[in-house]
Each structure stands twice: as structure tokens, then as C-alpha cells.
């Protein structure tokens, strides 16, 4: 991933013309150590981004990773320590935490969903409901949590949604237009169509020229019936109204995919903080809480 520009913009937003509090309170050239302290249980995500933040703030900072990205972490774990100029550590602190907390929250929520459908064939997908400018990072976090990515954007898959169907005056017309477009342009993109009821489902099946059918806001019972109607001729996906409490009920219907916008836009960040390691602990670093 190339997130240099993302980090640069985030630092500019936070630092402006300097961290004046640290410039005022910390003597120039003073070195020290800090540790990332986990304050909740979940999946750690975003260490490469944190490393880039520290690098852009001060290439002389020394980051020691103790727990790898994608690992399950618990309260009091210490995934990394950072050493060097204290002013630089403090300048990077909030930006590092903002990235790590959000991405770890996404990975953790995805992990919970994936665990709920364990033992079924269903795969958990994200959507395009991401923070503008952070899609690549948020989808990376979904993968760390055990989920899979749906399309990255409008360019890498054709997805006929309800508005396309309505503007085209029907599922058959929309699918036909897509087939003509791909033939005319030479595009060979995967095609998915969203259906809102069984009438549209049958239109999609009968028209063909698609790879996947998404069942939008279908009940568990209707998803089960729809999967039987499709009978393996196309991939199937369910979306809308699916939560941690009912995701397994949807999965046992035999649906291939469940896509959830909530993975990236309704998550709770994983709580953590960057804490100074004061001198009296310095010589006893291996005994710091959570270091293993």
C-alpha cells in the first residue's frame, strides 16, 4: 500500500506550524521512550501506517514492534515501543492513535462477524461506505479481520443497483445495456445486479449475462428461498439489515457472501493510548505490561 500522501495530509491537519505545547515544555534534544498500551480486546491493525507517521515526523525515531499487525490483542498488551526525540514522539502521537484506533476497530468488528459465520461457506464483505481518502486503509483493516473486499471503487466491477434499474426501466434493460457496453468497449468486468424482490430476481436469472445476484434487504426466510431458486447458477450475496445478532442466520441459508457497510462506517474504535515510559522503568523494559 502507498499511504505516504494520506499520512502527509493527516500530519499537516494536526501539526500546522508546530506542536507548540511540546516545544514549550520539552527541552530541545531530550530523548525518551513511549509504548502503545492496549485498553480493549480486539484485532490490531495499522502498524505500517503508524511506522510511516513516525518516519515522516522524524526519521530518527526507533520503533520496536512486539506484536504483529492482525494479531488479537488484549488489555495491557504493548504492541510496540518508540524511542527517540520526545518532541517528535508527541508530535506524532495523536495521528498514530487516530489511524490505529479506527483501523483496529474495523478489523475487530470484521473479526466478530467472521467468527459468527464460522463453519459456513459464507464470506464477509465490506462495501464502498468508507471514509473519503481512507478506503485503501479501511479495506486493509477488513482483510486483517478475516473479511474480504468487495469492489474497490466504481472502476473495477459493474454493479447494477436499484437506481440503475429504475433509470433503465427494469432489470432486463439494465443487464442488456451492460452486456452491450462491455462488448462495445472491450471491458471484461465482473457483473453483479441488485434485486429487491422475487420478481426482479427471476428477471435477473432469466436474462443471464451476470456473475452475482445481490439480495437487498431480504429477510432470512426470503434469502433461503432465493438461494434455492438461484440453485448455484450465479453467486449470491445478501445485504441490508444484517447485524452481529442475525448474521449467522443469514449465513446458514447457503448464501455465498454477506456485505456489510457497518464494518467501515458504524464501528467503535479500539481503545488504546501512547504512554511515556519513565526512567525508572527503562532498565526493566522486558517486564513492562503486555510485552511478550
Q: Which residues are catalytically annotated?
A: 94, 129, 161, 194, 216
Contact of 125 with 260, CB cutoff 8 Å:
yes
* Distance (Å, whole) CA 292 – CA 280: 20
* Distance (Å, whole) CA 188 – CA 179: 10
Placement of cell 448464501 in the chain: 255
* Distance (Å, whole) CA 226 – CA 197: 9
* Distance (Å, whole) CA 225 – CA 166: 24
* Distance (Å, whole) CA 268 – CA 265: 9
> Hey, is 65 helix, strand or coil?
strand
Report, in angstroms and rounded to the nearest whole number, the Rg of the chain calculated over CA atoms. 24
Residues 6+ apart with CB under 8 A from 185: none
Amino acid at each position: 500500500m502507498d499511504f505516504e500522501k494520506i499520512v502527509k495530509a493527516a500530519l499537516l491537519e494536526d501539526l500546522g506550524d508546530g506542536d507548540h505545547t511540546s516545544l514549550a515544555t520539552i527541552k530541545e534534544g531530550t530523548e525518551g521512550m513511549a509504548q502503545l498500551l492496549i485498553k480493549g480486546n480486539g484485532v490490531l491493525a495499522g502498524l505500517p501506517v503508524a511506522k510511516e507517521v513516525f518516519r515522516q515526523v522524524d526519521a530518527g525515531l526507533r520503533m520496536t514492534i512486539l506484536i504483529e499487525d492482525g494479531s488479537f490483542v488484549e488489555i495491557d498488551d504493548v504492541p510496540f515501543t518508540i524511542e527517540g526525540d520526545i518532541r517528535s514522539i508527541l508530535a506524532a502521537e495523536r495521528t498514530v492513535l487516530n489511524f490505529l484506533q479506527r483501523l483496529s476497530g474495523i478489523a475487530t468488528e470484521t473479526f466478530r462477524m467472521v467468527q459468527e459465520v464460522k463453519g459456513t461457506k459464507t464470506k464477509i464483505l465490506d462495501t464502498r461506505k468508507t471514509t473519503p481518502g481512507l478506503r485503501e486503509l479501511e479495506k486493509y483493516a477488513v482483510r486483517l479481520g478475516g473479511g474480504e473486499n468487495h469492489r474497490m471503487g466504481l472502476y473495477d466491477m459493474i454493479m447494477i443497483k436499484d437506481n440503475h434499474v429504475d433509470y433503465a426501466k427494469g432489470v432486463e434493460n439494465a443487464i442488456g445495456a451492460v452486456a452491450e457496453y462491455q462488448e462495445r468497449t472491450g471491458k471484461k468486468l465482473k457483473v453483479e445486479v441488485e434485486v429487491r424482490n422475487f420478481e426482479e430476481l427471476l428477471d435477473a436469472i432469466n436474462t443471464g449475462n451476470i456473475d452475482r445476484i445481490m439480495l437487498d434487504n431480504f429477510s432470512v426466510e426470503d434469502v433461503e428461498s432465493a438461494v434455492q431458486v438461484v440453485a448455484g447458477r450465479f453467486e449470491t450475496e445478501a445485504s441490508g439489515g444484517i447485524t452481529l445478532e442475525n448474521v449467522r442466520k443469514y449465513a446458514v441459508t447457503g448464501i455465498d457472501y454477506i456485505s456489510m457497510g457497518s464494518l467501515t462506517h458504524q464501528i467503535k474504535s479500539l481503545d488504546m493510548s501512547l504512554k511515556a515510559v519513565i526512567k525508572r522503568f527503562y532498565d526493566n523494559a522486558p517486564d513492562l505490561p503486555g510485552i511478550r
